[in-house]
Structure 1
Amino acid sequence: MKAEVSALPTKAAKQVVKGIYVSAWSAVGNKFEQLLTLVDQTDLNAMVIDVKNDSGQVTYASTVPAVNEIGANSNVIIQDLKAKLQRLKEKKIYSIGRVVVFKDPYLSKQKSNYAMQSLAGAVWKDNKGIAWVDPYKEAVWDYNIQIAKEAAQLGFDEIQFDYVRFPENGKQVDREVQFDNPNKLTKAQVIEAFLQRAKEQVGQQAYLSADVFGLTTSSENDMGIGQEWAGISKQVNYISPMLYPSHYSNGMYGVKNPDLQPYAIVSKAISDANGKNLRLKQVSSEVAEIRPWYQDFTATWVKPHKTYRAADVNEQIKAAKEQGVEQFLLWNSNSNYSYR
């Protein structure tokens, strides 16, 4: 069954979004019903649903020719996406379609000329053995934008771009990869250019957001991954730093064992983010609203770590709310939430 695209939807009214990540597998069956109940019973009002996931698979029956050509929609998980989005609309649940952009092992395999290339001319892979596509290739931009456009036409209120960056360990990547960059653009310039094109082609139909590393709130450079707060903020409606305490190194912000101190980490990160936005507003009318991701998972690989429960999630929410940032998204890769 192919996805049916109707006339362009009208944009939803802006609202204070409080949402959860819903993996494609969690967007079907009993699990989805459980998540709907969670939203009904709390102050949550939004869902971030996988449209194109971390493996490069498109999760619904896309009609985009480029998707069909390489079979990226051959494993349809969400059979009834349009009806599902209509149901969310009827329940006044704000819908966000997550599109993983440059981390795309599937596209890299099917079209190796789109992949990052090693100096020897082979497909480059990161430290986990995952292939990425080259952000300098505009054909890759257009592929992702076509998917985003279709998702917006199917009824998503917002499109969220994730992995809209280069791989981490930027200096190592630069030593090992030959990028297709004849115009000698910086990494930050190319990420902003991609988002600008997405805004031009999708921004009339849906709001746009971008997920960024937590440290973008505080860093004065692109950290070697092309994520520079000011450039991204100009091109999207919402910027979502991933403020997971478990992802901060020991001693960051002067905090010993960040995973144990969610309030302290988020408080400092939001303070820096607000400072950046304040400076941007003095020179630009286009500044993305801050809508952070918070940790609702237990980082067992961190030593020491704590078991995250509702109280720990609420500490993160409180830290930001005290500084005027009320919107948030909760991340749990399995979509199992403690939030109540």
Structure 2
Amino acid sequence: MMFLSSLPFENLLDFCDSFVIGDELLMDKIRRRRTMYRKKRHPFRWILLVVVCIVLVFVGYSVAGPVMNFFKNITSSEPSSSVGDVSSEAPASSQTPVSSQPSASSAASSEPSKTQVTGTKAVWLPLDTLTGKDLDSFIALAKETGVNAVVVDIKLEDGTLTYASNLEAPKTAGAVADDAPDLMAALTDLKDAGIQPIGRMVCFKDPIAKLAIRAGAIQYKPNPQLTWLDASKANGGKSWLNPYSDVAAQYLIDIASEAVDMGFEQIMLEGVQFPDKGGSTAYYGKEAETISREEALSTFVEKMQDALQAKGAEMILSCPGNVAAGETSSIYGDGNPLTFGAKTAAVNCMPGELGKDITISGETFDDPSNQVAEVVEAVADAAEANAGSSTTLWGWVQAYDMSDSQVEEQVDALTSSGIQSVIYYNPDGSYSKDQLDLS
């Protein structure tokens, strides 16, 4: 029977015919009539075919199960083609190499859904990245991860400018180093790659501008002929520019305008505030007797914004998350920076910079660094409510001392609150592909 079952079906009829042919020879020997032979031939042949088919069905059914199990075991023992998980404990600054890509079907089933940033996706970069050999590597990473903007500091807290300025006042103040780089070539490379450069400048915290524009600095109340310091000179006290001063405002506007001429398309203002210490002896001039601090800051923001718009550029006002969420502070005139009139504002929602035991909209967070999603969402929701519809909000994302999943939680919390533009920040300027790929 096993022999019959191994024959192809088309040969079975020939096999059966051999029996019939043998039968015909036998019939010839005993000289039976041909018609009688034919009458007996057909029943025998069809009966034999039925028997053979029954045997084949039985044998096939018997071996089908073991054969299927055999192939199933082979299939299940093959290694998975999906990419292994990347450890979430890897430091944020580590650059993760691009791994081989899985097939489209396995990628679709194994990769989690990603939060999509529909607005600006920016990263902060140190100046040496723009002026060194790392610029090409960054541009490649940006193209691969969808980064479309970069924030670069152009004016620091110590008053210095990071680029080769041609402005007379900063040069007189010693704010321009002799070896300051020309950023125009780097900015051109960024824009050619579809990456928008944003220049960030610290405004009123400036200890050296007084050397060129003394009238623009805060004066010492007991003797207005002297420049006020935020601490004693022995304790490292520094002078500040006066938010009420038109001279100080013009100094800052000139720097921002020069940056636009150099190639920056957006200017981000940091430190639009009054001094955070030693204010009791500060003298701001007669204007301070009739104009509130909040009004003074709002006036400056309006002047800067108008000046940049006239040059086809945009102004972004950066502010702390706790204040944007409603916490009052005298350095902002007990007002909210989101109400200063900026059309675009970047809220610092980074958990590590919010401090501990902060209260947002009546909810207290003991340790924001361990309550990432909750605190970022609370700050973003409150900031959106305080800003109103006239101001577009961006969110700073902490990309250091955070796992990849915590970075993703921040972005997800911001986008869930309606903030669709983000700025990743790592003080050493290193970002991994996995980190930036999360949005």
TM > 0.5 fold call:
yes
Partner in structure 2 of residue 6 of structure 1: none
In structure 1, what is the Cα distance between the partners aligned to 2:178 and 2:376?
38
1:159 counterpart SS class = strand
Distance 1:276 1:42 in 2: 32
Structure 1's 106 and 334: CA in aligned 2 closer, same or farther, altered over 3 A?
farther
CA distance in 2, matches of 1:154, 1:40: 23
Structure 2 segments unaligned to the other structure (5+ residues) = 1-117
Q: 1:108-119 to 2 correspondence within 5 Å? A: 108-119=210-221
Match of 1:16 in 2: 119
User: Aligned runs of 1:150-161 on 2, under 5 Å?
Assistant: 150-161=258-269
Q: Please list the CA deviations of residues 232-251 of structure 1 after superposition, one character each: whole Å capped at 9, or x if unmatched.
A: 2x2x3310111121222323
Counterpart contact for 1:216–1:241, Cα < 8 Å:
no
Counterpart of 1:194 (choices 292, 300, 304) is 300
- Kept in 1, the 8 Å contact 2:217–2:227? The answer is no
For the aligned residues, what is the CA RMSD?
Answer: 2.3
Which residue is equivalent to 1:206?
A: 313
Alignment partner, residue 7 of structure 1:
none
Superposed counterparts of 1:86-97, under 5 Å: 86-97=188-199
Aligned match of 1:251 in 357, 362, 377?
A: 357
Q: Which runs of 5+ in 1 are unaligned?
A: 1-14, 282-286, 298-306
From 178, 198, 220, the equivalent of 2:283 is 178
- The equivalences for 1:255-274 within 5 A come to 255-274=365-384
Where 1:201 maps in the other structure, the secondary structure is: helix
- Deviations along 1:38-74, whole A, 9 cap, x unmatched? 3122122110112222221122222223223333223
Deviation at 1:124, TM superposition (A): 0.8
Given the alignment, which residue of 7, 31, 42 partners 2:145? 42
Contact 1:116 1:178 in 2 (8 A): yes
State the 1:139 CA deviation: 0.7
Q: For the Cα contact (< 8 Å) 2:270–2:317, is it kept in 1?
A: yes
Match in the other structure for 1:163: 271
SS in 2 for 1:293: strand
CA deviation map 1:120-170 (0-9, x unaligned) = 44431258744322212211110110111111122211111111111235x
Distance between the aligned counterparts of 2:405 and 2:152, measured in 1?
25
Query: Quick check: 81-90 or 245-254, which moved more?
Result: 245-254
User: Which residue identity is paired with 1:334?
Assistant: D
Equivalent position of 2:252 in the other structure:
144
- Measured after TM superposition, the shift of residue 295 of structure 1 is 1.5
Single out whichever of 86-95 and 56-65 deviates more from structure 2: 56-65
Instruction: State percent identity of aligned pairs.
Output: 23
- Quote how far apart the aligned CAs of 1:188 are: 1.2
The corresponding residue for 2:161 is: 58
Q: Which amino acid letter does the alignment assign opposite residue 210 of structure 1?
A: L
CA contact (8 A) 1:98 1:159 kept: yes
Residue of structure 2 aligned with 1:105, choices 197, 201, 207: 207
Q: Are positions 1:288 and 2:391 aligned together?
A: yes
Q: Is the 8 A contact 1:217 1:272 kept in 2?
A: yes
- Length-normalised TM-score, structure 1: 0.81
Count of aligned positions: 304
What amino acid sits opposite 2:305 in the alignment? K
Contact 1:167 1:225 in 2 (8 A): no
Local SS of the residue matching 2:366 = coil
Q: Which has the larger radius of gyration?
A: 2
Question: What TM-score comes out, normalization by structure 2 length?
Answer: 0.64
Q: 1:244 to 1:26 in 2, by over 3 A?
A: same
Change in 2 beyond 3 A, CA 1:216/1:75 = farther
